[in-house]
Amino acid sequence: MRILDRTGTDYRVITYECDEFVDAQQIADQLHQPHERMYKTLVTRGKSGDYFVFVIPIDGELDLKKAARSVGEKSVEMIHVKDINAVTGYIRGGCTPIGMKKQYVTRISEDAGALDTMIVSGGKLGAQIELRPEDLLRVSEAEYADLLE
C-alpha cells in the first residue's frame, strides 16, 4: 500500500477477519465479492532458475505451458509453499504482485483488462486491494497474457 500511495495510485483497501490462510473463494464469499473480480497471485520458477509471478482469477487454473511461453521459458513450475516468504517477502494468502522482495517478471491474466476494477491481496492476511487493472499493470511492471487452462 505504501507503493500505491507513493505512486499516486487510486485504490481501496478491503479488510476482513482472518487469523490463518483460507482459500480465495471463501474470502470472496465472506466479502460478498464476485469471484470474477478477485485474483490470486501465483509464483513459479522457470527452467532457467528465475522466478515469475502470475495473477489469475481465483476460480481459474494456471496453464503452465502458456505461462512459460508468456515469459520466454521452456517450462515453469509452482514454487513450494514453504518458499513463498523467502522468495516474495509475503506469506501464503497474503502474496501480492506489488512490492515483492525483488521485481520479478509478472503477467496478469488478459481477462482482467475487461474489468473496471479488480481485487488482489493487500500483502497480508485480512487485507485485499481493489484497483484498476491498468494501475496494477503499471505498479507491478506487468503485462497481460493468456494464462488460463
pLDDT given at position 22: 72
Average pLDDT over residues 47-68: 97
Q: What is the pLDDT of residues 121-131, one digit of tens each?
A: 998 888 999 99
Q: What is the DSSP string of 68-89?
A: HHHTT-S-EEEPPGGGHHHHHS
**Helix (H, G, I), strand (E, B), or coil: what is residue 130?**
strand
Assess whether pLDDT exceeds 90 at residue 92.
Answer: no
Assess whether pLDDT exceeds 80 at residue 84.
Answer: yes
Q: What is the pLDDT of residues 102-122, one digit of tens each?
A: 999 999 999 999 999 999 999
Q: Model-level pTM?
A: 0.94
Domain count along the chain = 1
CATH number for the domain that contains residue 21? 3.90.960.10
The Cα 66–Cα 71 span in angstroms is: 9
- Percent of the residues in the chain that have a pLDDT greater than 90, as a whole number: 81
Q: What share of the chain is helix, strand, coil (3-state, %, to 5)?
A: 30, 30, 45
In this structure, are strands 143-145 and 105-109 parallel, antiparallel, or unpaired? parallel
**Helix (H, G, I), strand (E, B), or coil: what is residue 6?**
helix
Q: What is the pLDDT of residues 15-52, one digit of tens each?
A: 988 777 778 888 899 899 999 999 999 999 999 999 99
Q: Which three cell numbers stand for residue 144?
A: 497481460
Domain span including residue 6 = 2-145
